[in-house]
Amino acid sequence: MTFTTTLTFGIEIGVLVGVGFSLAFVIHESANPHIAVLGRLPGTTVYRNTLQYPEAYTYNGIVVVRVDAPIYFANISYIKDRLREYELKLPNSNRGPDVGRVYFVILEMSPVTYIDSSAVQALKDLHQEYKARDIQIAIANPNRQVHLLLSRAGIIDMIGAGWCFVRVHDAVQVCLQHVRSSSSNAIKLSPQASGNLTESPKAQQRYGFLRNLWKAQDGNGSAGDEAQSLLRQNLV
C-alpha cells in the first residue's frame, strides 16, 4: 500500500499513508487483543492454547483464559465479551464430572503487563456478574506490578486471596477439587472458599510463593534466603 501510494502521489503522501495504516493496525490490535482458551497437555502440568495444540484438553466446569495484552479501557469490553462467549460455548470435555456449565473462570495473567483504572472497575463488575451466576474467578501467575495494583484496588480481597495462584495447574486442581466434591451438578462454594481454602501444606506453600518472594525482595531486586529456598524446591 505504501509503495503504491508513493509511486502515485509522491514520497510525502506515501509516508503519511504508511504511518496512518500502521497506527490504525496498532490501535486495532490493542483494542482487540489475542485471547486464548488454555488446555492441559497430556502427561504434563503445562497449559497451552487449545487451537494451537488440539491435543490439549479442558475440564468440565472450568475455563482457563489467557489475555495476551495489557488490559485497559480500550479493550476491556472486548475481553468481557470473549469471556462470556467462552463461558457459553466451551465444548464438553471427557475430563471431570459432567456439570453442564462453567463454574470457574481462571485468568492466566502472565502476559498482562498493565491494568488501568477502567479495567479494574470492569473486573469488579465482572466479579459481581459472575457471583450472581455462581461463577468463581481465579487469577493465575500475575506479575508483581499487576498483583500489587489488583491488591490495592481491592480485587484480590473481593475474589478472595485463596483464589490467586502461582501456576495455572494449581488453580485448576483447586477448582477441580470443588467440582469433584460436589454431590450434584449445582456447585455451591462454602463461605470460606472465597478467602481461606483448606489445602494441603504443599498447595498452601505454592499459594504463598509469590507473596513470600515479593516480600523477601530487597532494594536491588534480589530475593532473600526464604525466597531463594522456595525457588530451589520442586513445585512441579
Task: Tell me: do 83 and 139 sit in the same domain.
Answer: yes
pLDDT for res 16: 66
CA distance 12 to 7: 11
Q: Are residues 134 and 175 in the same domain?
A: yes
Residues 98 and 205 in one domain: no
The pLDDT of residue 234: 39
Residue 26, pLDDT score: 62
Query: Residue 209 is which amino acid?
Result: F
Distance separating alpha carbons of residues 72 and 69, to the nearest angstrom: 9
Q: Spell out the per-residue pLDDT of the chain, length 236, in tens.
A: 665 666 666 677 666 666 766 666 566 566 678 999 999 999 999 999 999 999 999 999 999 999 999 999 989 999 999 999 998 887 778 788 888 889 999 999 999 999 999 999 999 999 999 999 999 999 999 999 999 999 999 999 999 999 999 999 999 999 999 988 863 445 455 434 444 443 444 444 444 444 444 454 444 444 444 444 444 443 44
pLDDT of amino acid 195:
41
Residues 126 and 84 in one domain: yes
User: What pLDDT, on a 0 to 100 scale, did the predictor assign at position 21?
Assistant: 61
* Total residue length of the chain: 236
User: What pLDDT is recorded for position 36?
Assistant: 96
- Total-model pTM: 0.71
Grid cell locating 76: 476491556
Shared-domain flag, residues 107 and 58: yes
- Per the structure, how many domains does the chain have? 3
The answer to whether residues 172 and 209 belong to one domain is: no
Phi, psi of 96 (to 5 degrees): 85, 165
Residue ranges making up the domain that contains 9: 1-31
Q: Which of 155, 172, 191 is the last residue of a domain?
A: 191
Q: What is the DSSP letter of 162?
A: G
- In this structure, the answer to whether residues 171 and 204 fall within a common structural domain is no
143 and 46 fall within a common domain: yes
Q: How many CB atoms lie within 10 A of CB 73?
A: 13
Task: Note whether 170 and 88 are same-domain residues.
Answer: yes
> Are 169 and 227 within one domain?
no
* Residue-level pLDDT at 199: 44
Inter-residue long-range contacts of 48-54, CB under 8 Å, 24+ positions, other chains counted: none
